[in-house]
Amino acid sequence: MKGDYQDLVDEISALLGAPATLENRDFRLIAFGAHDSEDDLVMDPVRTRSILTRQSTAAVRAWFEGFGIARATGPVRIPAAPDAGVFRGRICLPVRYRGIVQGYVWLLDQDPGPGPAALEAAMDVARRIGVLLAEEARAGADLSREFLAVLTAGPGWQQDMAVAALRVALGPGAEGPHAAVCVAPWSGEAPGSVPGAAAVCVVPAGGEGPDGAGAGPASAVLAVLLRLRSGDATAPALAAAGRLLPSAAAPAGGPGGGARGPSGGGAVTAGLSDPVRALTELPAAWAQATAAARAAAAQPGLGPVARWAGIGPYRMLAAVAAGPADDPATRALLAPAHRELARTAEVFLDCAGQAGRAAAELGIHRQTLYYRLGRVEQLTGLDLDAGEDRLLLHMALKAARLQA
Protein backbone atom coordinates (compact mmCIF):
# COMPACT_ATOMS: atom_id res chain seq x y z
CA MET A 1 0.00 0.00 0.00
CA LYS A 2 2.82 2.43 0.85
CA GLY A 3 4.33 1.79 -2.57
CA ASP A 4 1.04 2.70 -4.22
CA TYR A 5 0.95 6.01 -2.36
CA GLN A 6 4.54 6.79 -3.32
CA ASP A 7 3.86 6.07 -7.00
CA LEU A 8 0.82 8.36 -6.98
CA VAL A 9 2.70 11.16 -5.21
CA ASP A 10 5.49 10.87 -7.77
CA GLU A 11 2.87 11.07 -10.52
CA ILE A 12 1.54 14.34 -9.10
CA SER A 13 5.08 15.69 -8.77
CA ALA A 14 5.69 14.94 -12.44
CA LEU A 15 2.39 16.51 -13.53
CA LEU A 16 3.02 19.76 -11.66
CA GLY A 17 6.80 19.92 -11.87
CA ALA A 18 7.24 20.26 -8.11
CA PRO A 19 7.97 17.84 -5.24
CA ALA A 20 4.76 16.77 -3.51
CA THR A 21 4.05 15.38 -0.06
CA LEU A 22 1.03 13.33 1.03
CA GLU A 23 -0.36 13.55 4.56
CA ASN A 24 -3.42 11.94 6.08
CA ARG A 25 -6.14 14.13 7.53
CA ASP A 26 -4.28 14.17 10.86
CA PHE A 27 -1.28 15.72 9.08
CA ARG A 28 0.85 12.60 9.45
CA LEU A 29 3.22 12.10 6.53
CA ILE A 30 2.51 9.13 4.25
CA ALA A 31 4.79 9.74 1.24
CA PHE A 32 6.89 12.52 -0.26
CA GLY A 33 8.64 13.27 -3.55
CA ALA A 34 12.35 13.81 -3.96
CA HIS A 35 13.71 17.29 -3.23
CA ASP A 36 16.67 17.99 -5.52
CA SER A 37 16.61 21.80 -5.46
CA GLU A 38 19.65 23.76 -4.21
CA ASP A 39 17.31 26.53 -3.02
CA ASP A 40 17.29 26.47 0.80
CA LEU A 41 13.85 28.06 0.80
CA VAL A 42 12.36 24.91 -0.73
CA MET A 43 12.84 23.16 2.59
CA ASP A 44 11.29 25.64 4.98
CA PRO A 45 10.98 24.65 8.67
CA VAL A 46 7.41 23.37 8.32
CA ARG A 47 8.22 21.03 5.43
CA THR A 48 11.48 19.91 7.02
CA ARG A 49 9.73 18.99 10.27
CA SER A 50 6.97 17.17 8.40
CA ILE A 51 9.46 14.95 6.58
CA LEU A 52 11.87 14.36 9.46
CA THR A 53 9.27 13.72 12.18
CA ARG A 54 6.54 12.43 9.83
CA GLN A 55 3.98 14.76 11.39
CA SER A 56 3.09 18.42 11.80
CA THR A 57 2.45 20.32 15.01
CA ALA A 58 -1.06 21.18 16.20
CA ALA A 59 -0.33 24.86 15.56
CA VAL A 60 0.69 24.20 11.95
CA ARG A 61 -2.38 22.06 11.42
CA ALA A 62 -4.70 24.76 12.82
CA TRP A 63 -3.04 27.42 10.67
CA PHE A 64 -3.46 25.49 7.42
CA GLU A 65 -7.00 24.36 8.30
CA GLY A 66 -7.87 28.02 8.74
CA PHE A 67 -7.77 28.30 4.93
CA GLY A 68 -10.71 25.91 4.60
CA ILE A 69 -8.79 22.92 3.26
CA ALA A 70 -11.00 20.42 5.17
CA ARG A 71 -14.06 21.70 3.27
CA ALA A 72 -12.45 22.37 -0.11
CA THR A 73 -13.16 20.18 -3.12
CA GLY A 74 -10.46 21.67 -5.34
CA PRO A 75 -6.94 23.12 -5.08
CA VAL A 76 -6.38 25.72 -2.35
CA ARG A 77 -3.58 28.27 -2.61
CA ILE A 78 -2.07 29.30 0.74
CA PRO A 79 0.28 32.32 0.93
CA ALA A 80 3.69 32.31 2.55
CA ALA A 81 3.91 33.23 6.24
CA PRO A 82 7.57 33.56 7.31
CA ASP A 83 6.57 34.23 10.93
CA ALA A 84 4.99 30.76 11.01
CA GLY A 85 8.01 29.11 9.36
CA VAL A 86 6.25 28.90 5.98
CA PHE A 87 8.71 30.64 3.67
CA ARG A 88 7.01 29.54 0.45
CA GLY A 89 3.35 29.53 -0.51
CA ARG A 90 1.60 26.18 -0.79
CA ILE A 91 -0.89 24.50 -3.08
CA CYS A 92 -3.06 22.04 -1.21
CA LEU A 93 -4.92 19.33 -3.10
CA PRO A 94 -7.60 17.91 -0.78
CA VAL A 95 -7.85 14.12 -0.99
CA ARG A 96 -11.51 13.12 -0.67
CA TYR A 97 -13.63 10.01 -1.03
CA ARG A 98 -17.40 10.26 -1.26
CA GLY A 99 -17.27 13.77 0.10
CA ILE A 100 -15.16 12.94 3.18
CA VAL A 101 -11.64 14.32 3.41
CA GLN A 102 -9.04 11.56 3.72
CA GLY A 103 -5.83 13.58 3.50
CA TYR A 104 -3.93 16.31 1.66
CA VAL A 105 -1.33 16.56 -1.10
CA TRP A 106 0.99 19.53 -0.61
CA LEU A 107 3.14 21.33 -3.18
CA LEU A 108 5.25 24.46 -2.99
CA ASP A 109 3.69 27.20 -5.10
CA GLN A 110 5.70 28.70 -7.93
CA ASP A 111 5.57 31.77 -10.16
CA PRO A 112 4.09 31.00 -12.57
CA GLY A 113 2.32 28.12 -10.93
CA PRO A 114 0.70 25.14 -12.66
CA GLY A 115 -2.21 25.88 -14.96
CA PRO A 116 -5.82 24.73 -14.57
CA ALA A 117 -5.39 21.68 -16.80
CA ALA A 118 -2.36 20.41 -14.85
CA LEU A 119 -4.12 21.01 -11.52
CA GLU A 120 -7.22 19.14 -12.68
CA ALA A 121 -5.05 16.19 -13.78
CA ALA A 122 -3.38 16.24 -10.34
CA MET A 123 -6.81 16.29 -8.66
CA ASP A 124 -7.71 13.14 -10.61
CA VAL A 125 -4.67 11.44 -9.05
CA ALA A 126 -5.65 12.82 -5.63
CA ARG A 127 -9.06 11.19 -6.02
CA ARG A 128 -7.34 7.84 -6.67
CA ILE A 129 -5.34 8.37 -3.47
CA GLY A 130 -8.62 9.05 -1.64
CA VAL A 131 -9.96 5.65 -2.71
CA LEU A 132 -6.86 3.92 -1.31
CA LEU A 133 -6.99 5.80 2.00
CA ALA A 134 -10.70 5.04 2.40
CA GLU A 135 -10.15 1.36 1.64
CA GLU A 136 -7.35 1.20 4.22
CA ALA A 137 -9.57 2.82 6.88
CA ARG A 138 -12.47 0.52 6.00
CA ALA A 139 -10.21 -2.52 6.27
CA GLY A 140 -9.56 -1.58 9.91
CA ALA A 141 -13.29 -1.30 10.58
CA ASP A 142 -13.94 -4.62 8.84
CA LEU A 143 -11.71 -6.38 11.38
CA SER A 144 -14.12 -5.61 14.20
CA ARG A 145 -15.17 -9.25 14.62
CA GLU A 146 -11.60 -10.54 14.91
CA PHE A 147 -10.58 -7.67 17.19
CA LEU A 148 -13.59 -8.16 19.47
CA ALA A 149 -12.85 -11.88 19.72
CA VAL A 150 -9.35 -11.15 21.06
CA LEU A 151 -10.69 -8.69 23.65
CA THR A 152 -13.45 -10.96 24.97
CA ALA A 153 -11.97 -14.45 24.62
CA GLY A 154 -11.20 -16.43 27.74
CA PRO A 155 -7.58 -17.37 28.49
CA GLY A 156 -5.90 -20.35 26.90
CA TRP A 157 -6.63 -21.85 23.51
CA GLN A 158 -9.62 -19.58 22.79
CA GLN A 159 -7.50 -16.49 23.14
CA ASP A 160 -4.66 -18.07 21.16
CA MET A 161 -7.02 -18.83 18.28
CA ALA A 162 -8.50 -15.32 18.35
CA VAL A 163 -5.04 -13.73 18.25
CA ALA A 164 -4.02 -16.00 15.36
CA ALA A 165 -7.15 -15.01 13.39
CA LEU A 166 -6.49 -11.31 13.95
CA ARG A 167 -2.86 -11.75 12.91
CA VAL A 168 -3.92 -13.34 9.62
CA ALA A 169 -6.53 -10.63 9.00
CA LEU A 170 -4.03 -7.82 9.63
CA GLY A 171 -1.48 -9.33 7.27
CA PRO A 172 1.94 -7.64 7.09
CA GLY A 173 0.85 -4.96 9.55
CA ALA A 174 0.25 -7.46 12.35
CA GLU A 175 3.65 -7.20 13.99
CA GLY A 176 5.07 -3.87 15.04
CA PRO A 177 4.23 -1.25 17.60
CA HIS A 178 0.53 -0.90 18.42
CA ALA A 179 -1.42 0.66 21.28
CA ALA A 180 -4.91 -0.09 22.55
CA VAL A 181 -7.41 2.71 23.19
CA CYS A 182 -10.58 2.44 25.27
CA VAL A 183 -13.28 5.13 25.06
CA ALA A 184 -15.91 4.76 27.78
CA PRO A 185 -18.83 4.81 27.79
CA TRP A 186 -19.84 4.47 24.13
CA SER A 187 -23.24 4.16 22.51
CA GLY A 188 -24.12 3.34 18.93
CA GLU A 189 -21.96 1.90 16.20
CA ALA A 190 -18.20 2.14 15.87
CA PRO A 191 -17.02 5.08 13.74
CA GLY A 192 -16.60 4.17 10.09
CA SER A 193 -13.10 5.61 9.87
CA VAL A 194 -10.45 6.15 12.54
CA PRO A 195 -7.16 7.46 11.09
CA GLY A 196 -4.22 5.29 12.03
CA ALA A 197 -6.39 2.44 13.31
CA ALA A 198 -5.64 -1.17 12.49
CA ALA A 199 -8.99 -2.34 13.92
CA VAL A 200 -12.03 -0.85 15.67
CA CYS A 201 -14.93 -2.45 17.54
CA VAL A 202 -17.55 -1.81 20.21
CA VAL A 203 -17.22 -4.04 23.28
CA PRO A 204 -20.72 -4.61 24.69
CA ALA A 205 -21.57 -4.10 28.34
CA GLY A 206 -20.97 -7.08 30.60
CA GLY A 207 -18.65 -8.92 28.23
CA GLU A 208 -15.82 -10.96 29.67
CA GLY A 209 -12.66 -9.17 30.59
CA PRO A 210 -9.30 -10.11 29.09
CA ASP A 211 -8.64 -12.46 31.99
CA GLY A 212 -11.82 -14.40 31.29
CA ALA A 213 -13.16 -13.63 34.75
CA GLY A 214 -16.30 -11.95 33.51
CA ALA A 215 -15.12 -8.54 34.74
CA GLY A 216 -16.20 -6.83 31.55
CA PRO A 217 -17.27 -3.19 31.21
CA ALA A 218 -20.37 -1.96 33.00
CA SER A 219 -21.38 -0.13 29.81
CA ALA A 220 -20.41 -0.53 26.17
CA VAL A 221 -16.99 0.89 25.26
CA LEU A 222 -15.17 1.65 22.04
CA ALA A 223 -11.95 -0.28 21.41
CA VAL A 224 -9.32 0.87 18.91
CA LEU A 225 -6.08 -0.81 17.91
CA LEU A 226 -3.79 2.01 16.81
CA ARG A 227 -0.72 1.58 14.66
CA LEU A 228 2.36 3.39 15.98
CA ARG A 229 5.31 4.42 13.86
CA SER A 230 7.55 4.10 16.89
CA GLY A 231 7.10 2.62 20.33
CA ASP A 232 8.69 5.77 21.76
CA ALA A 233 6.32 8.23 20.08
CA THR A 234 2.90 8.03 21.72
CA ALA A 235 1.89 11.68 21.19
CA PRO A 236 0.06 10.89 17.90
CA ALA A 237 -1.81 8.06 19.66
CA LEU A 238 -2.85 10.42 22.46
CA ALA A 239 -4.09 12.93 19.89
CA ALA A 240 -6.01 10.22 18.04
CA ALA A 241 -7.62 9.06 21.28
CA GLY A 242 -8.64 12.62 22.11
CA ARG A 243 -10.35 13.05 18.77
CA LEU A 244 -12.58 10.06 19.56
CA LEU A 245 -14.17 11.86 22.50
CA PRO A 246 -17.59 13.37 21.69
CA SER A 247 -16.54 16.87 22.72
CA ALA A 248 -13.66 16.71 20.26
CA ALA A 249 -15.41 14.87 17.44
CA ALA A 250 -15.63 16.75 14.20
CA PRO A 251 -18.90 17.45 12.39
CA ALA A 252 -20.15 14.72 10.10
CA GLY A 253 -18.26 14.84 6.85
CA GLY A 254 -15.23 16.55 8.38
CA PRO A 255 -12.07 15.09 9.92
CA GLY A 256 -12.99 12.23 12.16
CA GLY A 257 -15.84 11.04 9.95
CA GLY A 258 -18.53 12.32 12.32
CA ALA A 259 -17.79 9.75 15.04
CA ARG A 260 -19.96 10.17 18.09
CA GLY A 261 -19.90 8.75 21.57
CA PRO A 262 -22.89 8.53 23.87
CA SER A 263 -25.49 11.25 23.63
CA GLY A 264 -25.75 13.26 26.82
CA GLY A 265 -25.05 12.38 30.43
CA GLY A 266 -21.83 11.26 32.08
CA ALA A 267 -18.25 12.13 31.28
CA VAL A 268 -16.65 10.23 28.42
CA THR A 269 -12.99 9.39 28.91
CA ALA A 270 -10.31 7.54 27.01
CA GLY A 271 -7.41 5.34 28.10
CA LEU A 272 -4.22 4.55 26.17
CA SER A 273 -2.10 1.47 26.82
CA ASP A 274 1.64 1.17 26.68
CA PRO A 275 2.93 0.25 23.20
CA VAL A 276 3.12 -3.48 22.41
CA ARG A 277 5.00 -5.20 19.60
CA ALA A 278 3.28 -8.58 19.53
CA LEU A 279 -0.44 -9.28 19.21
CA THR A 280 -0.13 -11.83 22.01
CA GLU A 281 0.33 -8.80 24.31
CA LEU A 282 -2.94 -7.24 23.14
CA PRO A 283 -5.19 -8.60 25.94
CA ALA A 284 -2.85 -7.09 28.54
CA ALA A 285 -2.74 -3.82 26.59
CA TRP A 286 -6.55 -3.75 26.51
CA ALA A 287 -6.64 -4.22 30.29
CA GLN A 288 -4.29 -1.24 30.59
CA ALA A 289 -6.42 0.93 28.29
CA THR A 290 -9.65 0.16 30.14
CA ALA A 291 -7.99 0.80 33.50
CA ALA A 292 -6.66 4.14 32.25
CA ALA A 293 -10.12 5.17 30.99
CA ARG A 294 -11.64 4.25 34.37
CA ALA A 295 -8.92 6.21 36.17
CA ALA A 296 -9.59 9.27 33.99
CA ALA A 297 -13.26 9.06 34.93
CA ALA A 298 -12.44 8.62 38.63
CA GLN A 299 -9.84 11.38 38.77
CA PRO A 300 -10.60 14.20 36.29
CA GLY A 301 -7.09 15.55 36.66
CA LEU A 302 -5.80 12.52 34.76
CA GLY A 303 -8.08 12.95 31.76
CA PRO A 304 -10.04 13.13 29.65
CA VAL A 305 -7.37 11.00 27.95
CA ALA A 306 -5.13 9.07 30.35
CA ARG A 307 -2.06 6.99 29.62
CA TRP A 308 -1.62 3.76 31.55
CA ALA A 309 1.90 4.86 32.38
CA GLY A 310 0.57 8.07 33.93
CA ILE A 311 -2.22 6.91 36.26
CA GLY A 312 0.02 6.14 39.23
CA PRO A 313 -1.66 4.16 42.04
CA TYR A 314 -4.69 3.44 39.86
CA ARG A 315 -2.55 0.89 37.99
CA MET A 316 -2.54 -1.29 41.09
CA LEU A 317 -6.06 -0.38 42.20
CA ALA A 318 -7.48 -1.38 38.82
CA ALA A 319 -6.07 -4.86 39.33
CA VAL A 320 -7.46 -5.32 42.84
CA ALA A 321 -10.77 -3.52 42.37
CA ALA A 322 -12.41 -5.95 39.97
CA GLY A 323 -15.54 -5.96 42.16
CA PRO A 324 -17.23 -3.32 44.32
CA ALA A 325 -15.11 -1.72 47.03
CA ASP A 326 -16.72 -3.40 50.06
CA ASP A 327 -14.35 -3.66 52.99
CA PRO A 328 -16.30 -4.04 56.27
CA ALA A 329 -14.37 -1.20 57.92
CA THR A 330 -15.19 1.34 55.20
CA ARG A 331 -18.68 0.17 54.17
CA ALA A 332 -20.56 2.74 56.29
CA LEU A 333 -18.29 5.63 55.27
CA LEU A 334 -18.86 4.90 51.57
CA ALA A 335 -22.64 5.09 51.91
CA PRO A 336 -24.24 8.08 50.13
CA ALA A 337 -25.21 9.65 53.47
CA HIS A 338 -21.54 10.19 54.34
CA ARG A 339 -20.26 11.49 51.01
CA GLU A 340 -18.83 14.69 52.55
CA LEU A 341 -16.99 12.75 55.27
CA ALA A 342 -15.51 10.42 52.65
CA ARG A 343 -14.32 13.37 50.59
CA THR A 344 -12.77 14.94 53.67
CA ALA A 345 -10.88 11.74 54.48
CA GLU A 346 -9.68 11.38 50.87
CA VAL A 347 -8.37 14.94 50.67
CA PHE A 348 -6.67 14.56 54.08
CA LEU A 349 -4.91 11.38 52.91
CA ASP A 350 -4.06 12.90 49.50
CA CYS A 351 -2.35 15.70 51.44
CA ALA A 352 -0.20 13.12 53.27
CA GLY A 353 -2.04 13.76 56.54
CA GLN A 354 -1.09 17.45 56.65
CA ALA A 355 -4.08 19.09 58.33
CA GLY A 356 -3.27 22.63 57.21
CA ARG A 357 -3.05 21.70 53.53
CA ALA A 358 -6.19 19.55 53.71
CA ALA A 359 -8.24 22.25 55.44
CA ALA A 360 -7.13 24.83 52.88
CA GLU A 361 -8.02 22.57 49.96
CA LEU A 362 -11.42 21.79 51.46
CA GLY A 363 -12.04 25.43 52.35
CA ILE A 364 -12.85 24.67 55.99
CA HIS A 365 -11.43 25.59 59.39
CA ARG A 366 -8.84 23.21 60.80
CA GLN A 367 -11.07 22.45 63.80
CA THR A 368 -13.86 21.46 61.41
CA LEU A 369 -11.41 19.12 59.71
CA TYR A 370 -10.49 17.49 63.02
CA TYR A 371 -14.16 17.04 63.90
CA ARG A 372 -14.87 15.34 60.56
CA LEU A 373 -11.84 13.07 60.86
CA GLY A 374 -13.02 12.05 64.30
CA ARG A 375 -16.38 11.10 62.80
CA VAL A 376 -14.53 9.07 60.13
CA GLU A 377 -12.70 7.14 62.85
CA GLN A 378 -15.98 6.48 64.67
CA LEU A 379 -17.68 5.17 61.52
CA THR A 380 -14.79 2.98 60.39
CA GLY A 381 -13.14 1.92 63.63
CA LEU A 382 -9.82 2.88 62.00
CA ASP A 383 -7.04 4.85 63.65
CA LEU A 384 -5.84 7.60 61.30
CA ASP A 385 -2.56 7.77 63.21
CA ALA A 386 -1.80 4.17 62.17
CA GLY A 387 -0.08 3.70 58.79
CA GLU A 388 -1.84 0.48 57.83
CA ASP A 389 -5.25 1.91 58.72
CA ARG A 390 -4.52 4.97 56.60
CA LEU A 391 -3.46 2.72 53.73
CA LEU A 392 -6.63 0.64 53.95
CA LEU A 393 -8.85 3.73 54.00
CA HIS A 394 -6.99 5.44 51.15
CA MET A 395 -7.18 2.32 48.95
CA ALA A 396 -10.88 1.88 49.69
CA LEU A 397 -11.66 5.50 48.80
CA LYS A 398 -9.71 5.38 45.54
CA ALA A 399 -11.11 1.98 44.60
CA ALA A 400 -14.62 3.33 45.20
CA ARG A 401 -13.89 6.03 42.62
CA LEU A 402 -13.14 3.36 40.01
CA GLN A 403 -16.52 1.75 40.74
CA ALA A 404 -18.50 4.99 40.54
Q: Indicate whether 100 and 240 sit together in one domain.
A: no
Tell me how many domains the chain contains: 3
pLDDT-derived band at 168, boundaries 50, 70, 90: confident
Quote the pLDDT of residue 394. Answer: 87
Q: In whole angstroms, give the CA distance from residue 78 to residue 237.
A: 28
- AA letter at 296: A
DSSP for 130-158, please give it: HHHHHHHHHHHHTTHHHHHHHHHPPTTHH
**Which stretch of DSSP H or E encloses residue 398?**
helix 387-403
Amino acid at 366: R
322: amino acid identity, one letter: A
Q: Does residue 11 register a pLDDT over 90? A: yes
Let me know: does 22 contact 5? Beta carbons within 8 Å. Answer: yes
What DSSP element (H or E) covers 179? strand 178-184
Mean pLDDT of 302-308: 90
Three-class secondary structure of residue 222 per DSSP: strand
36 has a pLDDT exceeding 80: no
Euclidean distance between CA atoms 333 and 340, whole angstroms:
9
For the stretch 191-200, pLDDT in tens is 766 777 888 9
Q: Which residues are 197's β-sheet partners? A: 226
pLDDT at residue 206 is higher than 50: yes
- 131 and 79 fall within a common domain: yes
Q: Please tell me the predicted confidence (pLDDT) of residue 147.
A: 92
Q: What is the mean pLDDT of the chain?
A: 80
Query: Which of residues 270, 288, 320 is at a domain's end?
Result: 320
How many CA within 13 A on the CB side of residue 148? 16
Residues 306, 353: one domain? Answer: no
pLDDT tier, 282 (very low <50, low <70, confident <90, very high otherwise): very high
| Listed residues 137, 168, 185: the one ending a domain | 137
Q: Can you give the pLDDT at residue 400?
A: 77
**What is residue 370's three-state secondary structure?**
helix
pLDDT bin (cut points 50, 70, 90) of residue 332 is confident
CB atoms within 10 A of CB 96: 24
Residues paired with 104 in a beta bridge: 23, 94
pLDDT digits (tens, 9 = 90+) for 63-122: 888 899 989 999 999 888 777 666 788 899 999 988 888 899 999 887 777 889 999 999
Do 182 and 250 reside in the same domain of the chain? yes
Whether residue 46 sits in one domain with residue 177: no
The region of weakest confidence among 178-182, 216-220, 295-299, 358-362 is 216-220
- Do 59 and 195 lie in one domain? The reply is no
Cα(262)–Cα(4) distance, integer angstroms: 37
258 has pLDDT over 80? no
* Local confidence band at 49 (pLDDT 50, 70, 90 cut-offs): low
Task: Give the structural domain span for 197.
Answer: 142-320
pLDDT, average across residues 123-143: 81
Do both 293 and 226 map to the same domain? yes
Whether 40 and 159 share a structural domain: no
pLDDT (mean) for 113-138: 88
